[in-house]
């Protein structure tokens, strides 16, 4: 069993640091205490096996908003076994109330910042949605215009087909009439040649 006495300096009071230290003992067999000092530092006294204590140190020597541990000094000693469990040593009631209020203010500020970021993201998503809708409307307009062109092209094709059919019919009748006239003339010529004694 080992023991360390540590002093955390930085933004460690009125930011819920003692509760964080306390929470980090739950999965470790550690006893001792954590308490605020009058000079703004936090003192931690912990006893346990060395592996648990080193993991504990890594978990509480942190910069994790709103906690900022700027320095963390440790003095190793032999364990005394004087602590049955780990506890938070509280100060005067007024000081503790102010600390809770400060921490609650930090939490509310953090929530407000996150809410603002969330609203910004929603605004961006809404803007993207509007732009996508505009592109969709423009695509629909192009599709309508393409459909109109397709209808007009189909109408022109129908009219062209009708004209071709009509032209074929007119041409056939004209050619039939011409061939009938030519046939009559050939018959007349053939008859005239026969009367003149010329065999064709």
- Which two structure tokens, joined as six digits, stand for 197? 């004694």
How far apart are alpha carbons 69 and 60 in whole angstroms? 8
**Residue carrying structure tokens 């819920």:** 16
CB 37 within 8 A of CB 1: no
Given the residues 16, 28, 36, 65, select the one marked as catalytic.
Answer: 36
Q: Identify whether 29 is a catalytic site residue.
A: no
**Residues 24-33: contacts with CB under 8 Å, at least 24 apart:** 24/56, 24/59, 24/60, 25/56, 25/86, 28/52, 28/55, 28/56, 30/56, 30/86, 31/83, 31/84, 31/85, 31/86, 32/3, 32/83, 32/86, 33/83, 33/86, 33/87, 33/88, 33/89
- Which two structure tokens, joined as six digits, stand for 156? 């022109």
Q: Identify whether 18 is a catalytic site residue.
A: yes
Given the residues 18, 39, 61, 100, select the one marked as catalytic.
Answer: 18
Rg (C-alpha) for the chain, rounded Å, is 50
| Catalytic residue numbers, as ranges | 18, 36
């Amino acid at each position: 069993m080992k023991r360390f006495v540590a002093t955390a300096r930085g933004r460690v009071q009125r930011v819920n640091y003692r509760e964080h230290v306390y929470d980090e003992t739950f999965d470790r067999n550690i006893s001792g205490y954590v308490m605020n000092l009058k000079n703004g530092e936090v003192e931690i006294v912990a006893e346990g096996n060395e592996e648990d204590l080193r993991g504990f140190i890594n978990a509480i020597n942190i910069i994790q908003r709103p906690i900022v541990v700027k320095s963390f000094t440790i003095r190793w000693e032999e364990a005394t076994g004087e602590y049955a469990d780990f506890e938070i040593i509280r100060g005067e009631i007024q000081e503790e109330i102010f600390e809770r209020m400060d921490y609650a203010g930090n939490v509310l500020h953090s929530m407000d910042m996150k809410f603002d970021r969330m609203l910004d993201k929603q605004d961006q998503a809404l803007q993207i949605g509007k732009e996508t809708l505009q592109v969709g409307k423009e695509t629909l307009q192009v599709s309508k215009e393409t459909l109109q062109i397709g209808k007009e092209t189909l109408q022109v094709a129908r009219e062209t087909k009708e004209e071709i059919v009509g032209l074929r019919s007119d041409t056939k009748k004209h050619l039939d009439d011409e061939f009938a006239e030519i046939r009559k003339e050939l018959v007349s010529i053939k008859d005239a040649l026969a009367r003149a004694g010329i065999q064709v």
